[in-house]
Amino acid sequence: MPETDADPIVAIATAPGRGAVGIVRVSGRGALALAPAICARPLAPRVARFGAFRDADGSTIDQGLAIAFPAPHSYTGEDVLELQAHGGPVVLQLLLARCLRAAAEVVDGTPRLPGLRLARPGEFTERAFLNGKLDLAQAEAVMDLIDAGTEAAARSASRALEGALSQHVHQLADQLTELRALVEATLDFPEEELDAADISAAQERLAAIAHTLAEVQRRTRTGALLQGGLKVVIAGAPNAGKSSLLNALAGAELAIVTPIAGTTRDAVQQSIQIEGVPLHVLDTAGLRDAGADEVERIGIERAWQHIAQADAVLLVHDLTRPAEGTQLAQRIAQHAGARVPIVHIANKRDAAPGAPLPAPDAIAISALHGEGLDALRARLLQLAGWSAGGGDTFTARQRHVQALSECAAHLDAAQQQLAAPELLAEELRLAHRALASITGEVDADALLGEIFARFCIGK
């Protein structure tokens, strides 16, 4: 019998391995019918009851807590039975098998819970989304919260799960719905004779939406960086102190440091945390055009590739050889593009205390002695969008960033189509669809409701 989304499902809901408590969860219409068979009695809604979990012959599998969550007041929005037992793998497998056998037992001529099957990965959260308990962005935040490796990531994922990103998207969608209703009404209901002021206000409304969208984009890019980590590439001329800087930031001797130019041949990566924010730091081969052998030339080519893919570049200047860094700065800026911030690092301050800084905002350090590293860490946190206490950041995914970029592109196109209502309406529709892809919502009903309210259709 093929699997369907309507089948009741069961799974072990806790991580593999041994633990104090393990949970078996059943979800689907009629899931609570298993309670009398396994717990020897029915359960009151949302009341934890302690007792024995019984096998088919009446013997005890384990003792623990059973909780019944009748629909729709459950995680999935369906009937949910949760069995909390001791967290041994064998015990949980026995309890899982008992659920499947009990479901197949015939009572009054029919199986107790027909169709019960093992859940697919993520299916409980998928059902929560399909039943309106979570939107798509919140459902993704569940996995971000589980996967969080730092306190900052966990708090940001929790805010996303509470709906921080979704609220911004809904606000934008509401503004677009109102504007679309106005524009499409001019196409479908010309006899309503909309005020000229309403039409002229479309441009102003569009500009306001674009302004709000830009702020949401900024925060979402920050959220994506907090979720995936900031890729920081250390670049500079040979022997500028790049490897020493990586070692200083990591607090360990990860990269070989020698006075010989070209010691670093390939990128050395280390993931570190600063105030709980993940940073993926890459030490790259020294950038030079002459004097490199074949192996070093490959390393230099890869260094340029990493620079083009970076979220930030630390350009290390050797204050004892200032001309080298100055020559590289423009090339790196051209290669990285305007989107990649370049942080100028004035290294070897201890060897050249009076040397001028290579840029007004350059950070003077001594990678050898650790001087100036606190200022550098603060700058990196600033680039990641971090604020003390976590602020109101929320995790986001690259698809959210892309969807908002798509929305922004359609809004830009809409600005060019103000004199053509048909084309303007289409660009607004596409912008709205891009937003809806973030939360998984469809906007047609909301739009229709807005039109009904404004023009009394059917009067």
Please write the tens of the pLDDT for every residue from 125-180: 889 988 999 888 898 888 888 877 777 778 888 888 899 999 999 999 999 988 88
Q: What would the DSSP string read from start to end of 126-186? A: HHHHHTTSS-HHHHHHHHHHHH--SHHHHHHHHHHHHTHHHHHHHHHHHHHHHHHHHHHHH
Which residues lie below 8 Å from residue 51, measured CB to CB, with a gap of 6+? 39, 40, 41, 63, 66
Peptide bond into 341 cis (omega under 30): no
Q: What is the pLDDT of residue 202?
A: 78
Q: Say if residue 417's pLDDT is above 60.
A: yes
Q: Say if residue 101's pLDDT is above 60.
A: yes
For the ranges 312-321, 384-393, 448-457, the maximum mean pLDDT occurs at: 312-321
Which residues lie below 8 Å from residue 118, measured CB to CB, with a gap of 6+? 9, 10, 11, 100
Q: What is the pLDDT of residue 8?
A: 96
pLDDT tens per residue across span 10-42: 999 988 888 899 999 999 999 999 999 999 888
> Nearest Cα to 228, choosing from 280, 267, 270, 269?
280
**147-179 exposure pattern, b = at least 16 Cβ within 10 A, e = fewer:** ebebebbbbbbbbbbebbbbebbbebbebbbbb
Phi/psi at 212 (5° precision):
-65, -40
Indicate the length of the chain as a whole number. Answer: 459
Model confidence band, residue 255 (pLDDT cutoffs 50, 70, 90): very low
The answer to whether 221 and 393 have CB atoms below 8 angstroms apart is: no
Q: Say if residue 189's pLDDT is above 70.
A: no
Q: Say if residue 392's pLDDT is above 70.
A: no
Phi/psi at 290 (5° precision):
-120, 155
**pTM of the predicted model, to two decimals?**
0.73
DSSP 105: S
Among all chains, which residue has been given the structure tokens 């059917």?
A: 458
Q: Say if residue 408's pLDDT is above 90.
A: yes
Q: Say if residue 419's pLDDT is above 80.
A: no
Mean pLDDT of 373-391: 77
Tell me which of 182-191, 351-360, 420-429, 430-439 is least confident: 182-191
Q: What is the pLDDT of residue 4?
A: 62
Mean pLDDT of 230-259: 75
Model confidence band, residue 265 (pLDDT cutoffs 50, 70, 90): very low
CA 244 from centre of chain: 32
Q: Say if residue 426's pLDDT is above 60.
A: yes
Among all chains, which residue has been given the structure tokens 């002021």?
A: 197
Q: What would the DSSP string read from start to end of 8-37? A: -EEEE-S-SS-EEEEEEEEESTTGGGHHHH
Which residues lie below 8 Å from residue 270, measured CB to CB, with a gap of 6+? 246, 249, 250, 252, 254, 280, 281
Task: Tell which wins on pLDDT, 257 or 23.
Answer: 23
Q: What is the pLDDT of residue 256?
A: 41
Q: What is the pLDDT of residue 291?
A: 61
Q: What is the pLDDT of residue 338?
A: 75
Report how far residue 393's alpha carbon sits from residue 98's, in angstroms, rounded to the nearest whole number. Answer: 44
Q: What is the pLDDT of residue 274?
A: 82
Model confidence band, residue 77 (pLDDT cutoffs 50, 70, 90): very high
Among all chains, which residue has been given the structure tokens 């590293």?
A: 373
Residue-averaged pLDDT of the chain: 83
> Nearest Cα to 171, choosing from 404, 395, 430?
404
pLDDT tens per residue across span 295-317: 778 888 888 888 888 889 999 99
